[in-house]
Amino acid sequence: MTTGLLLVQILNGLQFGILLFLVAAGLTLVFGVMDFINLAHGVQYMLGAYLAVTFVALTGSFVLGLVLALAAALVFGLALEFLVFRHLYERDHLDQVLATFGLILLLNQGVKIIWGAAPLSVPVPEFLSGNVALLDGILYPTYRFALIGAGLAVGLLLWFVVDRTRTGMLLRAGASNAPMVSALGVDIRKLFMIVFAFGTMLAGFAGAMAAPILSVEPGMGDTVLILAFVVIVIGGIGSIRGAFVAALIVGLVDTLGRSFMNDLLRLFMSAPSARATGAALSSMLIYLLMAVVLFLRPEGLLPSRGRT
Protein backbone atom coordinates (compact mmCIF):
# COMPACT_ATOMS: atom_id res chain seq x y z
CA MET A 1 0.00 0.00 0.00
CA THR A 2 1.73 3.14 -1.19
CA THR A 3 0.71 6.67 -0.38
CA GLY A 4 0.05 7.20 -4.07
CA LEU A 5 -2.42 4.35 -4.21
CA LEU A 6 -4.02 5.56 -1.03
CA LEU A 7 -4.38 9.04 -2.51
CA VAL A 8 -6.01 7.66 -5.65
CA GLN A 9 -8.44 5.62 -3.60
CA ILE A 10 -9.27 8.58 -1.40
CA LEU A 11 -10.04 10.61 -4.51
CA ASN A 12 -12.18 7.76 -5.83
CA GLY A 13 -13.98 7.62 -2.55
CA LEU A 14 -14.59 11.37 -2.60
CA GLN A 15 -15.89 11.22 -6.13
CA PHE A 16 -18.20 8.35 -5.26
CA GLY A 17 -19.36 10.23 -2.19
CA ILE A 18 -20.10 13.34 -4.22
CA LEU A 19 -22.21 11.30 -6.60
CA LEU A 20 -24.12 9.80 -3.67
CA PHE A 21 -24.61 13.26 -2.24
CA LEU A 22 -26.22 14.52 -5.44
CA VAL A 23 -28.71 11.65 -5.37
CA ALA A 24 -29.28 11.77 -1.62
CA ALA A 25 -29.71 15.56 -1.39
CA GLY A 26 -32.93 15.61 -3.40
CA LEU A 27 -34.20 12.48 -1.73
CA THR A 28 -33.63 13.70 1.80
CA LEU A 29 -35.54 16.91 1.07
CA VAL A 30 -38.45 14.93 -0.33
CA PHE A 31 -38.47 12.71 2.77
CA GLY A 32 -38.00 15.56 5.16
CA VAL A 33 -40.38 18.12 3.69
CA MET A 34 -43.04 15.85 2.27
CA ASP A 35 -42.69 12.73 4.45
CA PHE A 36 -42.91 10.97 1.13
CA ILE A 37 -40.87 7.86 0.39
CA ASN A 38 -39.91 7.91 -3.26
CA LEU A 39 -38.27 4.68 -4.34
CA ALA A 40 -38.33 5.91 -7.94
CA HIS A 41 -35.62 8.45 -7.20
CA GLY A 42 -33.03 5.91 -8.31
CA VAL A 43 -34.60 5.39 -11.71
CA GLN A 44 -34.52 9.15 -12.17
CA TYR A 45 -30.77 8.96 -11.71
CA MET A 46 -30.66 6.14 -14.26
CA LEU A 47 -32.79 8.15 -16.64
CA GLY A 48 -30.37 11.07 -16.38
CA ALA A 49 -27.59 8.77 -17.52
CA TYR A 50 -29.57 7.33 -20.43
CA LEU A 51 -30.73 10.73 -21.57
CA ALA A 52 -27.11 11.88 -21.48
CA VAL A 53 -26.17 8.92 -23.69
CA THR A 54 -28.79 9.89 -26.24
CA PHE A 55 -28.32 13.64 -26.24
CA VAL A 56 -24.53 13.59 -26.22
CA ALA A 57 -24.59 11.24 -29.20
CA LEU A 58 -27.21 13.38 -30.90
CA THR A 59 -25.54 16.74 -30.44
CA GLY A 60 -21.96 15.54 -30.45
CA SER A 61 -21.28 17.90 -27.57
CA PHE A 62 -21.04 16.83 -23.94
CA VAL A 63 -22.11 20.14 -22.48
CA LEU A 64 -25.04 20.60 -24.82
CA GLY A 65 -26.05 16.97 -24.32
CA LEU A 66 -25.87 17.41 -20.55
CA VAL A 67 -28.09 20.49 -20.64
CA LEU A 68 -30.66 18.80 -22.86
CA ALA A 69 -30.58 15.65 -20.73
CA LEU A 70 -31.22 17.71 -17.62
CA ALA A 71 -34.12 19.51 -19.22
CA ALA A 72 -35.63 16.24 -20.41
CA ALA A 73 -35.15 14.65 -16.97
CA LEU A 74 -36.90 17.59 -15.40
CA VAL A 75 -39.84 17.41 -17.80
CA PHE A 76 -40.14 13.70 -17.22
CA GLY A 77 -39.96 14.13 -13.46
CA LEU A 78 -42.68 16.75 -13.51
CA ALA A 79 -44.85 14.50 -15.64
CA LEU A 80 -44.42 11.72 -13.08
CA GLU A 81 -45.23 14.14 -10.29
CA PHE A 82 -48.42 15.13 -12.06
CA LEU A 83 -49.48 11.60 -12.99
CA VAL A 84 -48.47 9.58 -9.95
CA PHE A 85 -46.68 11.20 -7.01
CA ARG A 86 -49.15 13.99 -6.41
CA HIS A 87 -51.84 11.41 -5.69
CA LEU A 88 -49.66 9.73 -3.09
CA TYR A 89 -48.67 12.60 -0.79
CA GLU A 90 -51.70 12.08 1.41
CA ARG A 91 -51.40 8.31 1.41
CA ASP A 92 -49.58 6.24 3.97
CA HIS A 93 -46.03 5.02 3.50
CA LEU A 94 -47.11 1.58 2.40
CA ASP A 95 -49.01 2.96 -0.58
CA GLN A 96 -46.08 5.20 -1.47
CA VAL A 97 -43.65 2.32 -1.31
CA LEU A 98 -45.81 0.12 -3.51
CA ALA A 99 -46.68 2.68 -6.16
CA THR A 100 -43.12 3.90 -6.58
CA PHE A 101 -41.98 0.27 -6.61
CA GLY A 102 -44.34 -0.31 -9.53
CA LEU A 103 -42.78 2.70 -11.20
CA ILE A 104 -39.32 1.16 -10.85
CA LEU A 105 -40.46 -2.06 -12.50
CA LEU A 106 -41.97 -0.08 -15.35
CA LEU A 107 -39.04 2.26 -15.92
CA ASN A 108 -36.26 -0.32 -15.57
CA GLN A 109 -38.00 -2.47 -18.13
CA GLY A 110 -38.95 0.50 -20.31
CA VAL A 111 -35.31 1.55 -20.47
CA LYS A 112 -34.45 -1.99 -21.56
CA ILE A 113 -36.99 -1.78 -24.37
CA ILE A 114 -35.83 1.61 -25.60
CA TRP A 115 -32.06 1.40 -25.13
CA GLY A 116 -31.52 -2.35 -24.88
CA ALA A 117 -30.17 -4.39 -22.00
CA ALA A 118 -26.48 -4.02 -22.93
CA PRO A 119 -24.41 -1.46 -21.01
CA LEU A 120 -23.86 1.83 -22.83
CA SER A 121 -21.37 4.58 -22.25
CA VAL A 122 -20.78 8.24 -22.87
CA PRO A 123 -17.35 9.33 -24.13
CA VAL A 124 -15.44 11.54 -21.73
CA PRO A 125 -15.60 15.06 -23.17
CA GLU A 126 -12.52 16.12 -25.12
CA PHE A 127 -11.60 19.06 -22.92
CA LEU A 128 -11.65 16.92 -19.76
CA SER A 129 -10.10 13.78 -21.17
CA GLY A 130 -6.57 14.29 -19.87
CA ASN A 131 -4.93 13.28 -16.65
CA VAL A 132 -3.62 15.26 -13.74
CA ALA A 133 -0.24 14.28 -12.32
CA LEU A 134 -0.35 13.65 -8.59
CA LEU A 135 2.76 13.18 -6.49
CA ASP A 136 5.01 10.24 -7.37
CA GLY A 137 4.00 10.80 -10.99
CA ILE A 138 0.70 8.99 -10.49
CA LEU A 139 -1.96 10.17 -12.94
CA TYR A 140 -5.58 10.82 -12.08
CA PRO A 141 -8.26 11.46 -14.74
CA THR A 142 -9.20 15.13 -15.13
CA TYR A 143 -12.85 14.21 -15.61
CA ARG A 144 -13.07 12.75 -12.13
CA PHE A 145 -11.66 15.95 -10.72
CA ALA A 146 -14.25 17.83 -12.73
CA LEU A 147 -16.95 15.63 -11.25
CA ILE A 148 -15.77 16.30 -7.72
CA GLY A 149 -15.65 20.02 -8.50
CA ALA A 150 -19.09 20.06 -10.06
CA GLY A 151 -20.51 18.16 -7.12
CA LEU A 152 -18.96 20.56 -4.63
CA ALA A 153 -20.30 23.51 -6.63
CA VAL A 154 -23.79 22.04 -6.57
CA GLY A 155 -23.43 21.37 -2.87
CA LEU A 156 -22.47 24.99 -2.30
CA LEU A 157 -25.39 26.17 -4.40
CA LEU A 158 -27.74 23.94 -2.42
CA TRP A 159 -26.40 25.25 0.84
CA PHE A 160 -26.97 28.80 -0.43
CA VAL A 161 -30.52 28.09 -1.57
CA VAL A 162 -31.53 26.20 1.55
CA ASP A 163 -29.76 28.42 4.04
CA ARG A 164 -30.03 31.88 2.50
CA THR A 165 -33.23 32.18 0.46
CA ARG A 166 -36.89 32.47 1.34
CA THR A 167 -37.72 29.22 -0.44
CA GLY A 168 -34.94 27.57 1.51
CA MET A 169 -36.30 28.93 4.74
CA LEU A 170 -39.70 27.46 3.91
CA LEU A 171 -38.03 24.17 3.07
CA ARG A 172 -36.28 24.04 6.40
CA ALA A 173 -39.45 25.00 8.22
CA GLY A 174 -41.40 22.45 6.18
CA ALA A 175 -38.91 19.74 7.02
CA SER A 176 -39.61 20.19 10.69
CA ASN A 177 -43.24 21.28 10.66
CA ALA A 178 -45.23 21.03 7.45
CA PRO A 179 -48.64 21.98 8.92
CA MET A 180 -47.17 25.21 10.25
CA VAL A 181 -45.81 26.17 6.85
CA SER A 182 -49.17 25.63 5.22
CA ALA A 183 -50.75 27.62 8.04
CA LEU A 184 -48.49 30.51 7.01
CA GLY A 185 -50.41 30.62 3.76
CA VAL A 186 -47.72 29.04 1.63
CA ASP A 187 -49.04 26.97 -1.25
CA ILE A 188 -47.75 23.65 -0.01
CA ARG A 189 -48.51 21.98 -3.31
CA LYS A 190 -46.28 24.40 -5.16
CA LEU A 191 -43.56 24.00 -2.55
CA PHE A 192 -43.75 20.23 -2.94
CA MET A 193 -43.48 20.54 -6.70
CA ILE A 194 -40.42 22.76 -6.42
CA VAL A 195 -38.77 20.37 -3.98
CA PHE A 196 -39.60 17.50 -6.21
CA ALA A 197 -38.36 19.15 -9.39
CA PHE A 198 -35.18 20.10 -7.57
CA GLY A 199 -34.59 16.53 -6.43
CA THR A 200 -35.26 15.14 -9.88
CA MET A 201 -32.79 17.56 -11.46
CA LEU A 202 -30.10 16.64 -8.95
CA ALA A 203 -30.61 12.91 -9.48
CA GLY A 204 -30.62 13.38 -13.24
CA PHE A 205 -27.50 15.54 -13.03
CA ALA A 206 -25.73 12.86 -10.99
CA GLY A 207 -26.71 10.22 -13.52
CA ALA A 208 -25.57 12.28 -16.47
CA MET A 209 -22.27 13.15 -14.81
CA ALA A 210 -21.68 9.53 -13.91
CA ALA A 211 -22.39 8.34 -17.44
CA PRO A 212 -18.81 8.82 -18.76
CA ILE A 213 -17.21 6.85 -15.92
CA LEU A 214 -19.81 4.18 -15.10
CA SER A 215 -21.54 1.79 -17.44
CA VAL A 216 -25.05 2.93 -18.19
CA GLU A 217 -27.40 -0.01 -17.74
CA PRO A 218 -30.89 -0.88 -16.51
CA GLY A 219 -31.04 -1.21 -12.76
CA MET A 220 -28.06 1.11 -12.19
CA GLY A 221 -30.35 3.36 -10.21
CA ASP A 222 -31.38 0.70 -7.72
CA THR A 223 -27.95 0.26 -6.20
CA VAL A 224 -27.47 4.00 -5.93
CA LEU A 225 -30.91 4.41 -4.41
CA ILE A 226 -30.19 2.02 -1.57
CA LEU A 227 -26.80 3.61 -0.92
CA ALA A 228 -28.55 6.98 -0.87
CA PHE A 229 -30.92 5.58 1.76
CA VAL A 230 -27.95 4.58 3.86
CA VAL A 231 -26.51 8.08 3.42
CA ILE A 232 -29.79 9.71 4.47
CA VAL A 233 -30.25 7.48 7.46
CA ILE A 234 -26.70 8.15 8.64
CA GLY A 235 -26.93 11.88 7.96
CA GLY A 236 -30.39 12.42 9.43
CA ILE A 237 -33.59 12.75 7.43
CA GLY A 238 -34.21 16.13 5.84
CA SER A 239 -30.71 17.42 6.53
CA ILE A 240 -28.64 18.58 3.55
CA ARG A 241 -25.55 19.04 5.69
CA GLY A 242 -26.06 15.58 7.12
CA ALA A 243 -26.42 14.13 3.63
CA PHE A 244 -23.19 15.80 2.53
CA VAL A 245 -21.14 14.55 5.47
CA ALA A 246 -22.68 11.08 5.38
CA ALA A 247 -22.24 10.76 1.60
CA LEU A 248 -18.52 11.49 1.86
CA ILE A 249 -18.17 9.06 4.77
CA VAL A 250 -20.03 6.31 2.92
CA GLY A 251 -18.10 6.96 -0.30
CA LEU A 252 -14.76 6.84 1.45
CA VAL A 253 -15.53 3.90 3.73
CA ASP A 254 -16.90 1.81 0.87
CA THR A 255 -14.07 2.58 -1.55
CA LEU A 256 -11.26 2.25 0.95
CA GLY A 257 -12.84 -0.84 2.47
CA ARG A 258 -12.97 -2.57 -0.88
CA SER A 259 -9.37 -1.68 -1.71
CA PHE A 260 -7.63 -2.26 1.55
CA MET A 261 -9.69 -4.72 3.56
CA ASN A 262 -7.76 -7.68 2.18
CA ASP A 263 -4.40 -6.16 3.06
CA LEU A 264 -5.66 -5.30 6.49
CA LEU A 265 -6.96 -8.80 7.17
CA ARG A 266 -3.77 -10.34 5.85
CA LEU A 267 -2.14 -9.03 9.00
CA PHE A 268 -4.31 -11.41 11.03
CA MET A 269 -5.04 -14.39 8.79
CA SER A 270 -3.92 -16.45 5.84
CA ALA A 271 -4.24 -15.09 2.31
CA PRO A 272 -7.22 -17.18 1.09
CA SER A 273 -9.30 -16.68 4.20
CA ALA A 274 -8.39 -13.00 4.20
CA ARG A 275 -9.64 -12.76 0.63
CA ALA A 276 -12.92 -14.48 1.43
CA THR A 277 -13.54 -12.59 4.66
CA GLY A 278 -12.40 -9.34 3.09
CA ALA A 279 -14.87 -9.64 0.24
CA ALA A 280 -17.73 -10.37 2.60
CA LEU A 281 -16.77 -7.76 5.14
CA SER A 282 -16.09 -4.93 2.71
CA SER A 283 -19.44 -5.41 1.00
CA MET A 284 -21.16 -5.19 4.37
CA LEU A 285 -19.05 -2.38 5.76
CA ILE A 286 -21.33 0.59 5.12
CA TYR A 287 -24.35 -1.28 6.41
CA LEU A 288 -22.49 -2.09 9.59
CA LEU A 289 -21.50 1.57 9.77
CA MET A 290 -25.14 2.50 9.43
CA ALA A 291 -26.11 0.05 12.16
CA VAL A 292 -23.55 1.51 14.54
CA VAL A 293 -24.58 5.11 13.82
CA LEU A 294 -28.23 4.26 14.32
CA PHE A 295 -27.53 2.40 17.48
CA LEU A 296 -25.75 5.40 18.93
CA ARG A 297 -27.86 8.14 17.32
CA PRO A 298 -31.22 6.97 15.98
CA GLU A 299 -31.80 10.45 14.51
CA GLY A 300 -28.64 10.35 12.41
CA LEU A 301 -25.43 12.35 12.69
CA LEU A 302 -26.77 15.82 11.83
CA PRO A 303 -30.56 15.71 12.09
CA SER A 304 -32.39 18.71 10.70
CA ARG A 305 -33.39 20.91 13.60
CA GLY A 306 -36.87 20.72 14.99
CA ARG A 307 -37.48 17.09 14.18
CA THR A 308 -37.85 14.93 17.21
Partner 1 sequence: MSTAPALAETVAAPAPRRRGRLLLPILLFGLLALAPLAVSLGMPSGWLALLTRAMIFAIAALSLDLILGVGGLVSFGHAAFLGIGAYVTGIMITEGQAEALLILPVVLGICALFAAITGAICLRTRGVTFIMITLAFGQMVYFLAQALSAYGGDDGLTLYAKSTIAGLDLFSTRTGFFYCVLAALAGCYALVRILVASRFGRILRAARENPVRVSVTGFDVTRIRLVAYVISGMVAGIAGFFLANHTDFVSPAFMSWQRSGELIFMAVLGGVGSLHGAIIGAIAYLIAEDGLSHLTEHWRVIFGPLIILFVLFTRGGIVGMLRKLGGGGGA
Complete DSSP assignment for 69-135? HHHHHHHHHHHHHHHTGGGTTTS-HHHHHHHHHHHHHHHHHHHHHHH-SS-B--PPPGGG-SEEE-G
Here's the x/- map for partner 1, 10-49, by CB under 8 A: it reads as ---------------------x---x-x-x----------
Here's the x/- map for partner 1, 191-230, by CB under 8 A: it reads as -------------------------------x---x--xx
Complete DSSP assignment for 162-220? HHHSHHHHHHHHHHH-HHHHHHTT--HHHHHHHHHHHHHHHHHHHHHHHTTTS-B-TTH
Q: Is 142 exposed, middle or buried (0-12, 13-18, 19+ CB in 10 A)?
A: middle
Pick from 3, 6, 58, 95: which binds partner 1 (CB under 8 A)? Answer: 95
Please report, as residue ranges, which positions from 104 to 163 form the binding site for partner 1 (by CB under 8 A). 104-110, 112-113
Q: Which stretch binds partner 1 (CB under 8 A): 66-74, 94-102, 163-171, 181-189?
A: 94-102
- Of 91 and 305, nearer to partner 1 (C-beta) is 91
Nearest-5° angle of CA 60, CA 197, CA 206?
45
Q: How many residues does the chain have?
A: 308
Shortest spacing between CB 272 and partner 1, in angstroms: 10
Q: Which stretch binds partner 1 (CB under 8 A): 2-10, 178-186, 200-208, 279-287?
A: 279-287
Binding site for partner 1 (CB under 8 A): 31, 35, 37, 39, 84, 87-88, 91-95, 97-99, 101-110, 112-113, 222, 226, 229-230, 232-233, 237, 276, 279-280, 283-284, 287-288, 290-291, 294-295, 298, 308
